[in-house]
Amino acid sequence: MESWSSSIHLGHITVKRNNQMKKLILSCFAALLTLQAASQQLKTENVIIVTLDGFRWQELFRGADSTLINSAFTKDTSAVKKKFWAPDASSRRKMLLPFFWDVIATKGQLFGNRDLGNKSEVANPYHFSYPGYNEIFTGFPDTRINHNDPTDNPNINVLEFINKQRGFEHKVAAFTSWHIFPSILNQNRSKLLINSGYSDVNLPTASDRLKHLNEIQHKVPELLGPDIRLDFLTYEFGKAYLKQYKPRVLYLAFAETDDLAHEGNYQFYLQSAHKEDGFLKELWDYLQTEMQYKDKTTLIITCDHGRGELSDKNWISHGKDIPGSKQTWVAILGPDTPPTGMVKTKDTIYQKQLAQTIAGLLGFDFKAAAGHPAGDQIPGVFK
Ligand SMILES: [Zn+2]
């Protein structure tokens, strides 16, 4: 009875509501068409993500640091100076990271040069690895993720989301030096192909190259302990997998920059960053020779946290109590990214924006599907 009478008395409101509903449906439809049109215009069909664990923006934008080169943290000062030292920062950073400065800085975008007022940082309050990688891949700086333990991540990540989209099934893979990634990316739930630490690639169709890597990785000295594979092996595994299986999304997670910094070895920290820059160049050059990847692949490179400032003890570490640890950087290179080079606007981007950016480059909306809060895509990376 009650609803009957209210529909009589409130008849005009019902009509108004119907009109509002029509308007809402029409605007949703228009938004959907715009989204579709935008995704159709994008050239990116593949995304490669690379992380350099705990590598500082200071070395990326300023090159090798003279205070650290001349401190007890550098054993062979003259060797480091010879390889990485020039009086001006722009020459110095090019000596350390030639691919970043010859290619990305001219054809892509670099975020996080605080000397210019452009900032990139983590939104999570912890400033170490699991919370950082969780933020990058789930878009959600979840305060439950406040540890580095091998416990399964409850949050959906963008890699597993993409792996479920049509045309991307079994076309997403991760190769990581640190052994915790199967937990961070919740392999038990996501069923992603994740090869971590000193584990073998056990695919029945694996190439001889992959089988050879399986064999030799157990023969190298475990210089970073049994849980952290040396980065050149992670890279070689990822490259061999890419060549054979042609994934549409590949993630390579390098660890040495963080571990060597913790060991207080500035010479090797620089050397690892330099080698990894070389891996990126080799990978990028290879992509340009393959039909599937050439002019259709976006490369995103970033880190999971920053580390301390110059004062000796702070440089080797990071965490919520060490100033500078939230400071990160992001590099993007691809066919949809305007070649603005070093971003000079006085804005701040956050690692939590990367998940939606990765999905958006492939025409997907991760944020709408994640089931938890997630950052918006980074503005200006693509139209
Ligand atoms: Zn660390």
Spacing, Cα 59 to ligand 1 middle (Å):
16
User: What is 185-234 written as a DSSP string?
Assistant: TTHHHH--EEEETT-----TT--HHHHHHHHHTTTS--TT-TTB--HHHH
Spacing, Cα 339 to ligand 1 middle (Å):
32
Spacing, Cα 80 to ligand 1 middle (Å):
23
- Compute φ and ψ for 48, nearest 5 degrees: -120, 125
Spacing, Cα 263 to ligand 1 middle (Å):
10
Spacing, Cα 368 to ligand 1 middle (Å):
32
Neighbours of ion ligand 1 (CB under 5 A): 54, 258
Yes or no: say if 154 and 144 are a contact pair by the CB < 8 Å rule.
Answer: yes
Closest residue by Cα to residue 311 from 298, 323, 293:
323
Spacing, Cα 297 to ligand 1 middle (Å):
30
Spacing, Cα 235 to ligand 1 middle (Å):
20
Spacing, Cα 147 to ligand 1 middle (Å):
12
Closest residue by Cα to residue 370 from 135, 169, 144:
135
How many Cα atoms occupy the beta-carbon half-sphere of 379 within 13 Å? 4
What would the two tokens of residue 169 be?
């099934």
Q: What is the pLDDT of residue 12?
A: 43
Q: What is the pLDDT of residue 295?
A: 98
Q: What is the pLDDT of residue 313?
A: 73
Spacing, Cα 306 to ligand 1 middle (Å):
9
Q: What is the pLDDT of residue 4?
A: 33
Q: Are strands 109-111 and 341-342 parallel, antiparallel or unpaired?
A: parallel
Spacing, Cα 370 to ligand 1 middle (Å):
28
186: left (phi over 0), alpha (psi -120 to 50) or beta: left
Q: What is the pLDDT of residue 144?
A: 97
Spacing, Cα 65 to ligand 1 middle (Å):
19
Spacing, Cα 318 to ligand 1 middle (Å):
6
Spacing, Cα 317 to ligand 1 middle (Å):
6
Q: Are strands 109-111 and 330-333 parallel, antiparallel or unpaired?
A: antiparallel
With DSSP H G I counted as helix, E B as strand and the rest as coil, what are the percentages for the chain, rounded to 5? Answer: 45, 10, 40
Spacing, Cα 307 to ligand 1 middle (Å):
8
* Tens place of pLDDT per residue across the chain (383 aa): 333 333 333 334 444 455 665 665 555 555 555 555 455 589 999 999 999 999 999 999 999 999 999 999 999 999 999 999 999 999 999 999 999 999 999 999 999 999 999 999 999 999 999 999 999 999 999 999 999 999 999 999 999 999 999 999 999 999 999 999 999 999 999 999 999 999 999 999 999 999 999 999 999 999 999 999 999 999 999 999 999 999 999 999 999 999 999 999 999 999 999 999 999 999 999 999 999 999 999 999 999 999 998 766 789 999 999 999 999 999 999 999 999 999 999 999 999 999 999 999 999 999 999 999 999 999 999 98
Residues whose CB falls within 8 Å of the CB of residue 292, separated by 6 or more in sequence, listed in order = 45, 46, 246
Spacing, Cα 128 to ligand 1 middle (Å):
6
Amino acid at 118: N
Distance (Å, whole) CA 357 – CA 377: 4
Q: What is the pLDDT of residue 381?
A: 97
User: What is the edge-to-edge ordering of all strands in the sheet holding 172-176?
Assistant: 193-196, 172-176, 249-254, 46-52, 297-302, 330-333, 109-111, 341-342
Spacing, Cα 18 to ligand 1 middle (Å):
57
What is the b/e burial string over 39-58, where b = at least 16 CB atoms within 10 angstroms of the residue's CB? eeebebbbbbbbbbbbbbbb
Spacing, Cα 303 to ligand 1 middle (Å):
11
Q: What is the pLDDT of residue 2?
A: 31
Give SS3 for 262: helix
Spacing, Cα 90 to ligand 1 middle (Å):
27
